Structure 1
Amino acid sequence: MKKILFATTALVMTAGAAAAADVAVRGDARMGVLYDGNEWGFTSRARVQFNLSGETDGGLTFGGSFRVNDEGGANTGDGRRLASEGSRGTVFIAGPFGRLAMGAPAGAAEAAVGDLHEVGLTGLGFYNEVNYLTGDGDGIRGPWNPTVLYSYTFGDVTFYASASDGRDRGGRVENPALSTGSEDYGVGLAWAAGDFKIAAGFESSQVTNLVGDPAVLTTYGRQEQWVLGGDATFGDFTLRAIYANGDRSVAAGTFDYEEYGISGSATFDLITVTAFARETRQDTATGRNTNTYYGLGGRYDLGGGAALVGGIGYRDLADGTDDTYGDFGVTFRF
C-alpha cells in the first residue's frame, strides 16, 4: 500500500511540474534539386525543433531550444553538430533585468544587426550572411566556442553584449594538439520604431592556445570590426543594407577588411521574392582580394505549410572561381 501511495504521489508531482512548463515541438523538411556550378544533384533534409519554456513563481521566464540533430550541442552548450547549418543549442533566463542566454546564441553584433535576406531552397552557400567574428556566425574557428549573450530593451532601443570563455567545447581538452579557444566579446545597439530599424555592433576576437603553444597565438592576431545596418519596410516590401569594416588576421599578418551589401524582400499575394548583392574586400601582403556575390530567390505558398522554393546565385571570387549555381524544390513546415 505504501508503494502505491508513493507512486501515486510521484505521478501527481510530475504532472504538476509538467503543467508549470511548456515543451513545443515543430519541424521542417525540404526536397529538391541543387546545381553547384558544375553538376546537378538531389537535396533533402528533415529536422525537428524543440522549444522549452517555463516561468518561476516570481515571474522570471526561462527555457532552451535545440534541434533533434543538435542533441549533443544542447547538452554541452557548444552547438557544434552540423556546424555548416548554423546549429544552435541555447538556454536562457529572462526578467526585468533583461535576457541572458548561454550556449550557441548569436554574438552581440549579429544579434543587433543581422544578415541580408536569404535566397533559395538550401540557402545556396549562405553568401547573404555577414562574416561575423563572434557567436554562432564565427566562420574562422567554427561555432563550438561557448558564448553568453545578454540583451536589455528600453523603449525602442535594445542593448546587446556577448562574450566567450576562451575555451573550446565547454572547457574540455579532448585533444591537446588541437586545443585552441577564442577570446571573444562584442556589443550591439539596435533602434527599431515602426517600419524602420537602425543598428550597430562592435566585436573583437582572438585565438588562444590552451596548451601554451606560442605558434598558435601568432597565427591569428586580435581581430576587430564594426558592423552597421538598417531596415526599412514599405508595405509588403523590405529593404536592408549592411556595412562592416575592421581588421582580419591570417598567417601572414593582420590586414584591413571591408564588406557591404544590400537586399530586399517583396510579397505579392502568395509569392515572395528575395534578392541580395554583397561584396567583401580583404587586403593582403600581395594586394587586395575581392569576392562578389549575388542571389535571387522566390517562394510560392501552397498552403498548409508547404511551399515551392527556388533560387539562383552568382559568385566571383578572388581565387578565380566564377560560376552560377541554383536550387529548386518543396519545403514543408510542421
Structure 2
Amino acid sequence: MKKILFATTALVMTAGAAAAEVRLAGDARMGVLYDGDDWGFTSRARLQFNMSGETDGGLTFGASFRVNDEGAQSGARQASTGTRGTVFIAGDFGRLAMGAPAGAAEAAVGDLYEVGLTGLAFYNEVDYLTGDGAGINGAWNPTVLYSYTFGDFSFYASASDGNNAGGRVENPATDEGSQDYSVAVAWASGDFKVGVAYESSEVTTVAGGVATTADTQDQWVLGGEATFGDFGLKAIYVNGARNVAGGVNTYDYEEYGLSGSATFDLVTVTAFARETRQEFPVNTLSNRYYGIGARYDLGGGASLVGGIGHRDVEYGSALNAPDTYGDFGIAFRF
C-alpha cells in the first residue's frame, strides 16, 4: 500500500554546510472501550513533529512535540511554558534535553509492556517521581535531562525547576512548587539491559511569603529486561518512603512487577502483573494490577489491537471494589 502524505515527507532547509530537517508522523485509533461501568466509543488522532539540525562544528540539535485532536489549544499554551515538547542539543559531551523528557529513572529503566488499544489506565507504568508529569503532586514541571553513553553504559541525570503551572507559579504567595531530582545508570549489551536509579521529590508550600517543606519522597528503582528472539521479559522493583509534615500519611512502600511479550508471525501478545504496597503506621494499602492484550498486524501501518486491564485494591483486611477495563479496535501509524 502506498503511503501518502506527511509520514514519509521531509522538509529540508540548507544553510551553508548545515541542514535542518522537519519530519511529520502520526498515529490514530478507533474502537470501543469498557470503562468499568459501560461500553463506549473511543477514537483519537495525533500528529508528531520532529525537527533536527547540525551546526558547522558538528553539534546536533532538535525538538519534538505532538498535537492531539483533543485540547490542542491547551497543549499549545503548555508547550510555550516548557511542559510540552522536548528540545535538545548533543555532542561529544552527551545529550542535554529540556521541556518534557522522561526523568533519569524512567530513561534508564522504563515501564512494563503496555497492553490494549488505549493503554487501559496505564496500569503497566511504574510510579516514577521525576519527569513527564511525575512527582508527588503530578505537576507538569519543566524538566531537564542529561544523558551520556560510554560503551555499554549510559548515565542519566534529571531535575525539574521547582515550579508548577509550566514554570510559572500563578500566585507566589500561596502556590506549591515541586522540586524533583533523579540520577540513573543503565547497562545494555546485546539482548540484555539493566538499570538502577535514585529519585527524590520535594513539595514546598508558601504561606505569608514563607516557604515550608510539606512533603518529601525518595525511592530506588531497579529494572532488567531480556529478549530471546521473538520473546521478551521485563521486571522492575521500587523501594521508597514518603514523609509528610506532621506525620499524617507518612509511609514506606514497595513496588514490583513482571511483564512479557511474545510474537507469533503477525500476532504479538503482551501481559503484565504489578503490585504496590504502602506500609502506613496502622495499616497496609495494596494495589494489584494485571493486564493482557494482543496486536494483529494488518500491514501498511494498521493493526487490530485489544486488551483487558484489572486492579484490586486492599486496605488492611478489606478488599475494595475492583476495577476492570477493556478495549478493542484498530490502531494506525502514518
TM-score range, shorter chain: 0.7 to 0.9
* Cα distance change of structure 1 residues 62 and 325 upon mapping to structure 2, 3 Å threshold: same
Q: Equivalences for 1:287-302 in 2 at 5 Å?
A: 287-302=283-298
Q: Equivalences for 1:316-331 in 2 at 5 Å?
A: 316-318=312-314, 320-331=320-331
Distance in 1 between residues matched to 2:82 and 2:283, nearest whole Å? 40
Work out whether 1:166 is the aligned partner of 2:162: yes
Q: Percent sequence identity over matched residues?
A: 71
Deviation, 1:27, is 0.6
Deviation, 1:24, is 0.6
TM-score by length of 2: 0.88
* Cα distance change of structure 1 residues 119 and 57 upon mapping to structure 2, 3 Å threshold: same
The aligned residue for residue 234 of structure 2 is 240
Query: For the Cα contact (< 8 Å) 2:83–2:166, is it kept in 1?
Result: yes
Query: For the Cα contact (< 8 Å) 1:107–1:137, is it kept in 2?
Result: no
Distance in 2 between residues matched to 1:74 and 1:171, nearest whole Å? 11
The one-letter code of the counterpart of 2:301 is: G
* Greater Cα offset, 243-252 or 271-280: 243-252
Deviation, 1:76, is 1.8
Deviation, 1:253, is 4.0
Q: Equivalences for 1:85-124 in 2 at 5 Å?
A: 89-124=85-120
Gaps of 5+ in 2: 1-11
Q: 2:222 aligns with which of 216, 228, 234?
A: 228
The one-letter code of the counterpart of 2:49 is: F
Query: For the Cα contact (< 8 Å) 1:238–1:265, is it kept in 2?
Result: yes
Deviation, 1:71, is 2.8
Post-superposition Cα deviations, 1:127-152, rounded to whole Å, max 9, x if no partner, equal: 10000011115153224211100000
The aligned residue for residue 40 of structure 2 is 41
Aligned residue-pair number: 310
The aligned residue for residue 76 of structure 2 is 71
The aligned residue for residue 263 of structure 1 is 259
The aligned residue for residue 8 of structure 1 is none
Post-superposition Cα deviations, 1:201-239, rounded to whole Å, max 9, x if no partner, equal: 000010123566669733x2x210000000011110000
Work out whether 1:21 is the aligned partner of 2:20: yes
Distance in 2 between residues matched to 1:57 and 1:74, nearest whole Å? 28
* Cα distance change of structure 1 residues 304 and 256 upon mapping to structure 2, 3 Å threshold: same
Deviation, 1:37, is 1.6
The aligned residue for residue 205 of structure 1 is 201
Post-superposition Cα deviations, 1:271-317, rounded to whole Å, max 9, x if no partner, equal: 00000000000112331100001000000001111100000111101
The one-letter code of the counterpart of 1:317 is: V
Distance in 2 between residues matched to 1:237 and 1:149, nearest whole Å? 31
Distance in 1 between residues matched to 2:28 and 2:323, nearest whole Å? 28
* Cα distance change of structure 1 residues 255 and 15 upon mapping to structure 2, 3 Å threshold: closer
* Cα distance change of structure 1 residues 296 and 177 upon mapping to structure 2, 3 Å threshold: farther
Query: For the Cα contact (< 8 Å) 2:173–2:206, is it kept in 1?
Result: no
* Greater Cα offset, 200-209 or 65-74: 65-74
Distance in 2 between residues matched to 1:127 and 1:258, nearest whole Å? 16
The aligned residue for residue 62 of structure 1 is 61
Distance in 2 between residues matched to 1:318 and 1:47, nearest whole Å? 37
The one-letter code of the counterpart of 1:59 is: G
Query: For the Cα contact (< 8 Å) 1:315–1:321, is it kept in 2?
Result: no
The aligned residue for residue 151 of structure 2 is 155
Deviation, 1:250, is 5.1
The one-letter code of the counterpart of 2:257 is: G
Q: Which has the higher helix share?
A: 1
* Greater Cα offset, 64-73 or 112-121: 64-73
| Aligned-pair Cα RMSD in Å | 2.0
Distance in 2 between residues matched to 1:274 and 1:62, nearest whole Å? 35
Query: For the Cα contact (< 8 Å) 1:167–1:210, is it kept in 2?
Result: no
Distance in 2 between residues matched to 1:212 and 1:240, nearest whole Å? 48
Query: For the Cα contact (< 8 Å) 1:200–1:229, is it kept in 2?
Result: yes
SS of the aligned residue for 2:159 comes to strand
* Cα distance change of structure 1 residues 273 and 214 upon mapping to structure 2, 3 Å threshold: farther
Distance in 2 between residues matched to 1:23 and 1:134, nearest whole Å? 29
SS of the aligned residue for 1:73 comes to helix
Q: Which has the higher strand share?
A: 2
SS of the aligned residue for 1:169 comes to helix
Distance in 1 between residues matched to 2:104 and 2:166, nearest whole Å? 20
* Greater Cα offset, 291-300 or 19-28: 19-28
Deviation, 1:194, is 0.2
The one-letter code of the counterpart of 2:94 is: G
* Cα distance change of structure 1 residues 172 and 122 upon mapping to structure 2, 3 Å threshold: same
Distance in 1 between residues matched to 2:212 and 2:80, nearest whole Å? 29
* Greater Cα offset, 138-147 or 300-309: 138-147
